[in-house]
Amino acid sequence: MQIGVLTFLTDEGIGPTELGPGLEERGFASLFVAEHSHIPVDAKTPYPMGGPIPRKYYRTLDPFVALTAAAVATETLIVGTGIALVAQRDPIQTAKEVTSLDLISNGRFRFGVGVGWLREEIANHGADPRVRGRLVDERLQAMVEIWINEKAEFHGKFVDFDPIYSWPKPQTQPYAPLYIGGGPANFERIAKLGAGWLSLGPSADALSGQLEQLRAVAGADVPVIAMHIGESTASEIERYRDIGVDHVVVELPTEPRDQTLKYLDGLQKEFARLT
């Protein structure tokens, strides 16, 4: 089983060039990072976990810059976005960022994407949050066209461009593995794009029913990376293997270098108990 971490890299916590090697040296398989371009001062959208939006959401590093630094500082570590907010991103520029990181990491990048929940943040990028699902669909489809074609064009309601050249093309064929984050509302999107699923939940037991639903829609072989939020014990993580998930990322608090490495030492010791 592959075990990695999901975290918010900020200006107040450990940096990617220290975290990446720290994970790799301890046998962790992957580093996934969250994205928020900003937090609007007067945001009214409720925080999904309840209560105020945590401080770390305000201070995230750009995920592509941070993951490039982590990739250069490591040799085997998988790096991924968990999740990139496509409704807020220009598809032509993001397509180039994805293929650039795929190249620099030598195929170790996983492109986790999502629709996003903070309506005011989305609106500040000139996008209508009411149609963010359809906007994400078109932007992903447009990116695929850029990745797989020498001359790419796309004509949709939200994305429209005449033929363009854009390099680099993906090192990973046909392109860097694409994973969709979110719940069952995304299963048709996953099936249509031939993508994987980035699940989010407190336990394998909470995931098992949704996993059966996903496989019924997208096929038995749909790749899944489970983002585990909550206590990270060996027995709990092993349950994911029991339901057919072989890559789990656990929550890593955003803390300075020394505290983070000490926390990773504790996780390493705990996961050594996995059979």
In a structure prediction context, what are the per-residue pLDDT tens digits for the chain, which is 275 residues long?
A: 999 999 999 999 999 999 999 999 999 999 999 999 999 999 999 999 899 999 999 999 999 999 999 999 999 999 999 999 999 999 999 999 999 999 999 999 999 999 999 999 999 999 999 999 999 999 999 999 999 999 999 999 999 999 999 999 999 999 999 999 999 999 999 999 999 999 998 889 989 999 999 999 999 999 999 999 988 999 999 999 999 999 999 999 999 999 999 999 999 999 998 86
Predicted local distance difference test score (pLDDT) of residue 148: 98
Token representation of residue 120: 């005011």
Q: Which helix (H) or strand (E) holds 96?
A: helix 91-104
Are 21 and 39 in contact by the 8 Å Cβ rule? The answer is no
Predicted local distance difference test score (pLDDT) of residue 264: 98
In this structure, which topology does domain 2-128+168-271 adopt according to CATH? TIM Barrel (3.20.20)
Tell me how far CA of residue 150 lies from CA of 78, 144, 146, 165, 193, in angstroms.
27, 12, 8, 6, 20
Predicted local distance difference test score (pLDDT) of residue 209: 92
b (16+ CB within 10 A) / e for 222-232: bbbbbbbeeeb
Are 249 and 226 in contact by the 8 Å Cβ rule? The answer is yes
Domain layout of the chain by residue ranges? 2-128+168-271
Predicted local distance difference test score (pLDDT) of residue 275: 60
Q: Which helix (H) or strand (E) holds 166?
A: none
